[in-house]
Amino acid sequence: MKTTTIDSDVDVDRLWKEYARFKTDALRNQLASIYSGLVRKIAKYYPNKAKVKFVGYDQIIAAGYFGLLRAIPCFNPDFGTKFETYASKQIRGQMIRWVNKTCLYPRRPNYFEDVPSLDKLPCRKCLEPIDQLVQGESFDEIIICLKEIEQIVIILHYKHGYKINEVATYLEIPDYACWKIHQSALRKMRDSFFLD
């Protein structure tokens, strides 16, 4: 049996006209109850199933209802589009924003004390690949030319195996800024290594 998102007993066009005229909470809630099946339908096909299991299906539906309630006052039926088309983007966007906000990286480090002392690293005189340099004893001499933030990015990324976006989350900076810090640090390390 195929489910529909709109109750056939209610005159939806009349309800939209009343809502456009009066903008009351009661009419908004009535419209939300009519289109509530749309939220469940979108949540059912949410793209990232792993995050759904982590967060919970009910919480994703709650975020979708919030998106639905935000879409109703913004919708203009005079443009000729169906509300389902307009609202589905709002609902899906709200679900994605909420899930991404609540799902943190599980490998996120807690303190800077997790970073090992630089004088405990063994050596090889080779820069490429960077992983060999990180294991070298000259590593502490090479990263001394870096700023503190660059040292933290390099150590967390290469010694502890965190991804750049995880390091950015830990440092509370945007991913692209962390990537630029990483690239700048690599450039300085190469220059320092080849000038020695």
Give pLDDT, residue 39: 94
Give pLDDT, residue 73: 92
Rounded to an integer, what distance in angstroms lies between the CA atom of residue 183 and that of residue 185? 5
Q: Name the band, by pLDDT with cuts 50, 70 and 90, for residue 24.
A: very high
Report for 13-27, 88-102, 130-144: range of highest mean pLDDT: 13-27
Rounded to an integer, what distance in angstroms lies between the CA atom of residue 164 and that of residue 177? 10
pLDDT tens-digit series, residues 138-172 = 667 777 778 888 888 888 888 778 888 888 888 88
Give pLDDT, residue 169: 86
- Asked if 29 and 76 count as a contact pair (C-beta separation under 8 A), the reply is no
Q: Which residue has the tokens 């924003």?
A: 97
Q: Of 52-56, 130-134, 179-183, which range is least confident? A: 130-134
Q: Of 1-5, 12-16, 93-97, 136-140, which range is least confident? A: 1-5
Q: What is the pTM of this model?
A: 0.50
Q: Is the pLDDT at 71 greater than 90, yes or no? A: yes
Give pLDDT, residue 3: 38
Is the domain 112-195 a CATH 1.10.10 member? yes
Q: Of 34-48, 98-112, 162-176, which range is least confident? A: 98-112
**Helices marked H in 45-138 — which ranges?**
49-55, 57-74, 83-102, 130-134
For domain 12-102, the CATH class is: mainly alpha
Q: Can you list the pairs that 137-142 forms with residues at least 24 positions away whose Cβ atoms lie under 8 Å?
A: 138/193, 142/189, 142/192, 142/193
Residues of the chain with CATH 1.10.10: 112-195
More confident residue, 33 or 146: 33
Give pLDDT, residue 15: 92
Average pLDDT over residues 187-191: 78
Q: Is the pLDDT at 30 greater than 90, yes or no? A: yes
Residues of the chain with CATH 1.20.120.1810: 12-102
